[in-house]
Amino acid sequence: MENVLVAGANGTTGKKIVTLLESSQYFKPVAMVRKEEQETQFKNRNIKTVLGDLEKDVSHTVKNIDKVIFAAGSGGKKVKEVDENGAKKLIKESEKENIKKFVMLSSMGADNPEEAEELQEYLKAKHNADEYLKSSNLSYSIVRPGSLTDDKGSGKIELERKLNKQGEISREDVAQTLVRVLHDSAEVNETFEIIKGETLIGKAIPN
């Protein structure tokens, strides 16, 4: 089984990713959290944790890790420090450790942040982090969902490299998509957008 570091494991989507990995027969989650008190919920379930602050040194977090899902976010408070520089830092350390695949949770609109009517600063940070990942020597998948909802997941999405329309998607379906692209069979070095749709996640992922 491959060890998957989940950066942002304490976040709403991060927790869903960890739960999916916990029941996977291919992957074992390693929950990366910022504070000690956030570790308990995972340790109680025998899930390995690692303390790491994206604003500080994160080199230790990728030791004995096979793949990474970056689902961390500052919630709009420190977009430059966390969403951009924190991501870049983890990408850099992942390169040093020869991580097999880096899956980035990005956002629709990150390809053209200057065109966005809102969240421009956030989308610019995501854009810069995405571009940095693309120029690294890591195998990667960049997933850009529409507006996130807390609805129950349907297990179905619409996926295109560029959708050319707005839409929403449940965090559950986003988490499922991120875990699905971890597989070696999923196409690598691709960026795609997702919203809720009619195609089963397993079928929608290019392979």
- Give the residue numbers marked as catalytic: 122
Q: Give the Cα separation of 177 and 33 in Å (integer).
A: 22
189: tokens are 């070095």
Which residue is it, tokens 């350390």?
A: 93
Cβ distance 138 to 157 under 8 Å?
Answer: no
Q: Is 4 helix (H, G, I), strand (E, B) or coil?
A: strand
E strand or H helix at 121, and its extent? helix 120-134
Give 14's DSSP letter: H
